[in-house]
Amino acid sequence: MSTHLVWLRNDLRINDNSALAAACSDKDAHVIALFIATPVQWQQHHMSPKQAVFIHQNLCHLQTALGERGIELVYHQCDDFSASVDYLCHVCEQHKVDQLFYNYQYEFNERQRDAAAEKRLDAQGVTCQGFDDSLLLPPGSVQTGSGEMFKVFTPFSKAFVKRLEQGMPECVHAPKARSGAPLKPAKAIPAFDYAAEDVDAALFPAGEEAALKKLRHFAKTAVVDYPAQRDLPALDSTSRLSAYLAIGVLSPRQCLHRVLTEHPDALKGGKAFTWINELIWREFYRHLLVAYPALCKHQPFVDWTRHVPWQTNTAHLTAWQQGKTGYPIVDAAMRQMHAQGWMHNRLRMITASFLVKDLLIDWREGERYFMQQLIDGDLAANNGGWQWAASTGTDAAPYFRIFNPTTQGERFDSEGAFIRQWLPELKNVPDSDIHQPHAWAKKNHKMLDYPAPIVDHKDARKKTLDAFEHARSVA
Q: What is the largest CA-CA distance in the chain?
A: 82
Name the phi and psi angles at 98, rounded to 5. -110, -15
285: closest CA among 102, 399, 139?
A: 139
List the catalytic residues: 278, 281, 310, 345, 363, 386
Instruction: Please name every residue paired with 3 in a beta bridge, in sequence order, or none if there are none.
Output: 30
Question: Who contacts 325 (Cβ-Cβ below 8 Å, separation ≥6)?
Answer: 319, 331, 354, 451, 453, 454
Q: What is the DSSP string of 265-314?
A: TGGGT-TTHHHHHHHHHHHHHHHHHHH-GGGGGT--SSGGGGG------H
Question: Who contacts 201 (Cβ-Cβ below 8 Å, separation ≥6)?
Answer: none
386: closest CA among 458, 445, 300?
A: 300
CA distances from 205 to 99, 186, 369 (A): 34, 22, 24
User: What is the Cα 435 distance to its own chain's centre?
Assistant: 29
Give the separation between CA 31 and CA 168, rounded to whole angstroms: 29
DSSP state of 175: P
Q: What is the DSSP string of 49-86?
A: HHHHHHHHHHHHHHHHHHHHTT-EEEEEE-SSHHHHHH
Whether 330 contacts 366, CB under 8 Å: no
Name the phi and psi angles at 127, rounded to 5. -85, 130
Whether 233 contacts 344, CB under 8 Å: yes
Name the phi and psi angles at 62, rounded to 5. -65, -40
Name the phi and psi angles at 72, rounded to 5. -80, 140
302: closest CA among 403, 399, 371, 157?
A: 399
